[in-house]
Amino acid sequence: MNATLNPDPTWVGERHWLKRYYDNSVLSILIIIMFSMGCTIRWKELMHHLSRPWSVLTGLFSQFFLLPATSFVLMKTFNLQGYFALGMLILSCSPSGTTSNIFTYYLDGDVPLSISMTVCSTVVAMVMMPFNMWLYGRTLETSSGINIPYVKMVRSLAYITAPVGMGMLIFYKFPKVAPYITKLGSMAAFAMIGVSQVMIFIIFPNIFVAVPSQLFVAVSVLLIAGLLVGYLFAMVTKRSNKACRTISIESGIQNVGMAITVITLTIDKFQEQALVFPLCYSYYMLFMCVSSCISYNLYMKFCAAKYVIDDEKKVPPRIAVDAWVPSSNNADLTTTSIQSR
């Protein structure tokens, strides 16, 4: 089933009295999150990864070249059109976010590398996101008559990216205060996210009505493809296992908040359709990540521990241990071989 544009150019949701408050709350949430993220960045760790940038560059290539190309192929494969396809494209061109840092921690990835990649991808997105939208979005402009507002998109990205630098400056000047700002900012952001989720269903009560069924399939395929593409490309470039895992998470776990904010600030009409893909992606992403973290930690607790015990049982019964003990005159040291049978 093809996704078609709503014939009514003025949707009920865009006339809703809550819409203005929702737009402001979405922007405020992302600014708080970005500022809080900046307050957690240690300059030494960031400069360490930038001085040896191969892992970061591998992640950026996967993030801004491989993933948007994969998204475009899936968009054509599943025949997504109109603003549904535009929402998918905006999401795939977005950088990684703080969610990837959290799940990197719980999946035993390289957290400093994850944070460095998040910062770099957020900054690089100011150029690469509009570029990828122009590169892959031209087909939507010709086939569906969509006008992609590139200038408004760059302006929105500047609003979103600037707080990261401000947070980094706060951490540099006031390192003892920064953790409290991060904690308060995170709590406020999570509370506002809950409120905004309620607001979006009040403003757009029929947001998931008349959605093409292939969109839901495309959501799951894009997430899994992003994780696999990131991991395989990192493995081909001979990154460590920990770095491969981190790059995979950074490639698949997109900054959904940024995608939603860009859509909210730049798209005036048919915003409801454009929001469907990022929202579905966020729900499936959360489900997949939480499931993976629980499964991984259960495996490490029970299965991995069992393998360690089994390996210890396989140690040969005859073990030679050199113990240094003093001789009777307390002057010389002799070696005694202790054998266990």
CATH number at residue 252: 1.20.1530.20
Calculate ∠ Cα 198-199-201, nearest 5°.
Answer: 70
Question: Quick check: is 2 in a domain?
Answer: no
Contact 210, 227 (CB under 8 A): no
Question: Quick check: is 4 in a domain?
Answer: no
Question: Quick check: is 251 in a domain?
Answer: yes
Find, among 189, 9, 152, the residue nearest to 82 by Cα: 9
Q: Return the pLDDT at 320.
A: 38
Quote the DSSP letter at residue 270. Answer: S
Range of the domain at 235: 12-303
Question: Quick check: is 6 in a domain?
Answer: no
Question: Quick check: is 327 in a domain?
Answer: no
Q: Return the pLDDT at 216.
A: 95
Structural domain count, the chain: 1
Question: Quick check: is 184 in a domain?
Answer: yes
| Local confidence pLDDT in tens for the 341 residues of the chain | 444 444 444 444 555 678 888 888 888 888 888 888 888 877 777 788 788 889 999 999 999 999 999 999 999 999 998 999 999 999 999 998 888 888 898 888 898 898 889 889 988 998 999 999 999 988 887 777 778 888 888 888 888 888 888 888 888 888 888 888 888 888 887 788 888 888 888 888 888 888 999 999 999 999 999 999 999 999 999 999 999 999 999 999 998 988 998 998 888 788 889 999 999 999 999 999 899 999 988 888 888 655 544 444 444 444 333 333 344 444 443 443 434 43
Q: What are phi and psi of 146, to 5 degrees?
A: -85, 135
Give how far Cα 339 sits from Cα of 311, 316, 318, 320, Å: 20, 12, 6, 5
Give how far Cα 169 sits from Cα of 12, 40, 126, 177, Å: 43, 11, 20, 12
Give how far Cα 256 sits from Cα of 57, 100, 196, 241, Å: 22, 11, 14, 26
Q: Return the pLDDT at 321.
A: 37
Question: Quick check: is 246 in a domain?
Answer: yes
Contact 122, 101 (CB under 8 A): no
Question: Quick check: is 34 in a domain?
Answer: yes
